[in-house]
A and B are shown apart, each in its own frame.
Chain A
Amino acid sequence: MTAPLMQHHILEYPGGYTRSVGPAVGRYLSGLRDGHIVGVTGSDGRVLVPPTGYDPVTAATLEDYVPVGPAGTVTAFTWVNQPRPGKHHLTHPFAFALVRPDGSDTAMLHVVDAGSPDAMSIGMRVAPRWAPARRGYVTDLEAWVPLADGETPVPAPPNTNEDVSTEPVTGIVTPISLAYDINAGVAASKYLRALSEKRIVGQRAKGSDDVYVPPRGTDPTTGAPTEIEVEVGQVGTVTTYCVVNIPGLSENSPEIPYVCAQILLDGAHTAWFGLVQGLPADEVRMGVRVRAVWADDPGPDARSIKWFEPTGEPDAPYDDYKAYA
């Protein structure tokens, strides 16, 4: 059998998520920017770090902020041999650790830059190493570092970030980019491979005449697999459409205005979403007959059909397609 169709896929909101942080997280991040660690007193008197806005036991709003640290104690750790570029802010091996700052009753998840896993132990004393340029982000505390007996933590150096405000932090931007390798599946692979041969091949389930194009693997009315392939026509009827006047976010989005239509191909029983070009947007109409226009180099991809253009045939009568609109 032929190799499965796979495509790389990046899920990423362009520019990163714009997060407003609210008072508690804002207080914490403002503290980190200014070179100190802030906790909050919970309903039971415990000091919680980072400050939760809400008591984990009673759900009451918490606002009694208290300074903690600067030194702390490691209560758990795990070593990261291979930092992930673009994700971890340290580029050399480090530890994720739970660190309980002095004066706090809870530990916070952060990183310890200890050089080697052999330097890590539960109960070890650590101190913050502050980033020289701080912006009100969790990595302003660049890392915790081992603190030898008798050593005192080094205070945060003056912030070299001249653009930063001294007002309380209200928001952060967090980039999130996730990589996937998506496989098309059996049904879609057959269909996509046919496209690369300039054929449109739908599928139907045993015992049903309903031909699905593009096929998604089942007849969704029964959940039965669509194992029987049926080649359909490359000409069809626009059952309905809209004229799109707002640009898509993707670089592949067509130029506006464009017509996006539901097209019922001859021999198919479900409408296909496609572009209609070759006639002015204001002359597109329900019932107009169109044919597929192929890309010069069709491949196993939905983009192999660039768009649909009018065939010049008379429009289909409404009664012929109204059940599909």
Chain B
Amino acid sequence: MGSGIREVAVVGFAQLTALEDREHNEVELIIPAVQGALADAGMERHEIGFTISGSCDYLSGGPFTFVSGLDAAGAWPPVKESHVEMDAAWALYEAWVAIQTGDVDSALIYGFGKSSLGDLHEIMGLQADPYVVAPLWPSMVDMAALQASAFLAATDYTESDLCAIAARSRRAAVDNPYAVRVEDATAQELLARPVTHTPLRDSDIAPITDGSAAIIIATREIADARCERPAYIRGIDHRVDAQGLGLRDLATSASTKLAAQGAGVSNGPVDVAEIHAQFSHEELILKEALGLDDAVVVNPSGGPLGANPVMATGLIRIGEVAARIRSGSANRGVAHASQGPCLQQNLVCVLEGDQ
């Protein structure tokens, strides 16, 4: 899929999270993210060529949540606009495609969701086959735990390796003001806590998080004028696997591997990776599929184990990598987004600053 013809960079990013936001509705959650991303990019609303969001009606318990979400985007005069019922990382992909066609030069992408309103884990279980799986009501955690079980059985990894990931993520999250779950605990301390969903502990499971995020992307012409060190998208690709858990080798992620190849992860050194692992074991599976070695700093933000505003979590991975490139603390990084039961669908985005 390659790098596209037009160079496109992340020039603005903002996010907003809360463990359980009882105050704001979705529209009110989006406003600061959109305004923040615009401010970060130094752009006005009317300068944006394309607007797109990612959200899930089922999180809010009624149809057409994204319709009211548009109220936060300032869509007047009428805007070129679209919506995906996907994590907003895929909205960013659609925006990148729109820029590639030459129709627009910049885009505002936002994702939002309030996981706390309903039972997120039960709701996402309804992504499963509606005839032979969903009627048994496995939750998304149950299905993830099945993958963890299969993964540990197929590899030399143990539960303590999962706890090590959880411990590192919680510690990294201490420095992230948007993390909702932080803790300075050792892997041993976590390992001593009860298993809640064999073989997973609460610390292996991303917290319920309400939140939103917004990103501005733009062509080089705009990016270089507005931004001291834009984070250029060098490659972006996404792939899907078959859903049936029995149809896949759960110890690996074939779709991530393909997307990583398409995005060109191995075309250069990787300084940092933000991986959309909602469960500890997923990080191990994904790191392998992405072809990242141990020198790569993984999830310095704390990752989804620190904050998981579903439908924005993947977009935030792109924002976090871009922020590190823009600040100069990294030169080349990999952002990964995922959705669907047991990492069914995966997106990989390679970002880089100018040398």
Q: Which residues of chain A have C-beta atoms less than 8 A from B75's C-beta?
A: 220-221, 223
- At the interface, yes or no: A308 with Cβ under 8 Å from chain B? no
Docked complex Cα distance between A108 and B146 (Å): 11
Q: Report if A25-B22 is in contact (Cβ < 8 Å); known contacts: A11-B62, A84-B137, A178-B122.
A: no
Q: Which residues of chain B have C-beta atoms less than 8 A from A139's C-beta?
A: 135-136
Q: Which residues of chain B have C-beta atoms less than 8 A from A225's C-beta?
A: 28, 31
Does the CB pair B45–A182 fall under 8 Å? no
Query: Which stretch from A46-54, A256-264, A290-298 is at the chain B interface?
Result: A46-54
Q: Which residues of chain A have C-beta atoms less than 8 A from B61's C-beta?
A: 9, 11, 178, 180, 182
Q: Which residues of chain A have C-beta atoms less than 8 A from B119's C-beta?
A: 178-179
Interface residues of A in 68-87 (CB under 8 A from B): 75-81, 84, 87
Q: Which residues of chain A have C-beta atoms less than 8 A from B242's C-beta?
A: 56
Query: Which stretch from A155-163, A185-193, A277-285 is at the chain B interface?
Result: A185-193
Of all chain B residues, the one with the shortest Cβ separation from A17 is: B130
Interface residues of B in 157-172 (CB under 8 A from A): none
- At the interface, yes or no: B117 with Cβ under 8 Å from chain A? yes
Query: Which of B35, B60, B128, B131 has the most chain A CB atoms inside 10 A of its CB?
Result: B131
Shortest Cβ distance from B208 into chain A, in angstroms?
A: 13
Q: Which residues of chain A have C-beta atoms less than 8 A from B247's C-beta?
A: 48, 52, 56, 106
Q: Which residues of chain A have C-beta atoms less than 8 A from B28's C-beta?
A: 185-187, 217-218, 225
- Interface 1/0s, chain B 193-214, versus A by CB < 8 A? 0001111100000000000000
- At the interface, yes or no: B80 with Cβ under 8 Å from chain A? no
Docked complex Cα distance between A11 and B123 (Å): 11
Does the CB pair A174–B71 fall under 8 Å? no
Does the CB pair A220–B131 fall under 8 Å? no
Q: Which residues of chain B have C-beta atoms less than 8 A from A75's C-beta?
A: 150, 153, 246
- At the interface, yes or no: B222 with Cβ under 8 Å from chain A? no
Size of the chain B interface, CB-CB below 8 angstroms: 60
Shortest Cβ distance from A53 into chain B, in angstroms?
A: 10
Docked complex Cα distance between A299 and B34 (Å): 33
Shortest Cβ distance from A254 into chain B, in angstroms?
A: 20
Docked complex Cα distance between A9 and B72 (Å): 24
Shortest Cβ distance from A212 into chain B, in angstroms?
A: 10
Interface residues of A in 13-68 (CB under 8 A from B): 17, 19, 21, 25, 28-29, 48-50, 52, 56
Q: Which residues of chain B have C-beta atoms less than 8 A from A106's C-beta?
A: 244, 246-247
Q: Of A11, A80, A108, which is within 8 A of B142 by CB? A: A80
Query: Which stretch from A93-101, A125-133, A244-252, A312-320 is at the chain B interface?
Result: A93-101
Does the CB pair B146–A77 fall under 8 Å? yes
Q: Of B27, B133, B200, which is within 8 A of A217 by CB? A: B27
- At the interface, yes or no: B138 with Cβ under 8 Å from chain A? yes
Does the CB pair A117–B198 fall under 8 Å? yes
Shortest Cβ distance from B28 into chain A, in angstroms?
A: 5
Docked complex Cα distance between A216 and B117 (Å): 18
Of all chain A residues, the one with the shortest Cβ separation from B63 is: A11
Docked complex Cα distance between A75 and B148 (Å): 11
Q: Of B21, B68, B131, B246, which is within 8 A of A98 by CB? A: B246
Query: Which of A4, A76, A217 has the most chain B CB atoms inside 10 A of its CB?
Result: A76
Does the CB pair B74–A220 fall under 8 Å? yes
Of all chain B residues, the one with the shortest Cβ separation from A52 is: B244
Q: Report if A184-B25 is in contact (Cβ < 8 Å); known contacts: A11-B61, A88-B137.
A: yes
Docked complex Cα distance between A187 and B26 (Å): 11
- At the interface, yes or no: A107 with Cβ under 8 Å from chain B? yes
Q: Report if A216-B68 is in contact (Cβ < 8 Å); known contacts: A52-B247, A178-B118.
A: yes
Q: Of B25, B131, B136, B196, which is within 8 A of A21 by CB? A: B131
- Interface 1/0s, chain A 110-132, versus B by CB < 8 A? 11000001001010000000000
- At the interface, yes or no: B284 with Cβ under 8 Å from chain A? no
Q: Of B22, B76, B136, which is within 8 A of A183 by CB? A: B22
Does the CB pair B25–A138 fall under 8 Å? no
- At the interface, yes or no: B176 with Cβ under 8 Å from chain A? no
Of all chain B residues, the one with the shortest Cβ separation from A222 is: B74
- At the interface, yes or no: B147 with Cβ under 8 Å from chain A? yes
Docked complex Cα distance between A97 and B242 (Å): 18
Does the CB pair A138–B132 fall under 8 Å? yes
- At the interface, yes or no: A164 with Cβ under 8 Å from chain B? no
- At the interface, yes or no: B145 with Cβ under 8 Å from chain A? yes
Q: Which residues of chain B have C-beta atoms less than 8 A from A218's C-beta?
A: 27-28, 31, 71-72, 74
- At the interface, yes or no: A206 with Cβ under 8 Å from chain B? no
Q: Which residues of chain B have C-beta atoms less than 8 A from A84's C-beta?
A: 122, 137
Does the CB pair B27–A216 fall under 8 Å? yes
- At the interface, yes or no: A224 with Cβ under 8 Å from chain B? yes
- At the interface, yes or no: B70 with Cβ under 8 Å from chain A? yes
Of all chain A residues, the one with the shortest Cβ separation from B46 is: A222
Does the CB pair B35–A185 fall under 8 Å? no
- At the interface, yes or no: B134 with Cβ under 8 Å from chain A? yes
Q: Which residues of chain B have C-beta atoms less than 8 A from A95's C-beta?
A: 198
- At the interface, yes or no: A6 with Cβ under 8 Å from chain B? yes
Could you jot down 29 A-B contacts, CB within 8 Å?
A9-B61, A19-B130, A28-B132, A48-B244, A48-B246, A50-B132, A52-B247, A76-B245, A77-B198, A78-B149, A98-B146, A98-B150, A108-B132, A122-B149, A138-B135, A179-B118, A180-B61, A181-B118, A182-B117, A186-B23, A186-B25, A187-B28, A216-B68, A217-B24, A217-B71, A221-B75, A221-B76, A223-B71, A225-B31
Binding site for B on A (CB under 8 A): 4, 6, 9, 11, 17, 19, 21, 25, 28-29, 48-50, 52, 56, 75-81, 84, 87-89, 95-98, 100, 106-111, 117, 120, 122, 137-139, 172, 174, 176, 178-188, 216-218, 220-225
Q: A96-B145, A107-B245 are in contact. List 6 more A-B contacts (CB 8 A).
A: A77-B198, A78-B146, A182-B60, A217-B24, A220-B70, A220-B71
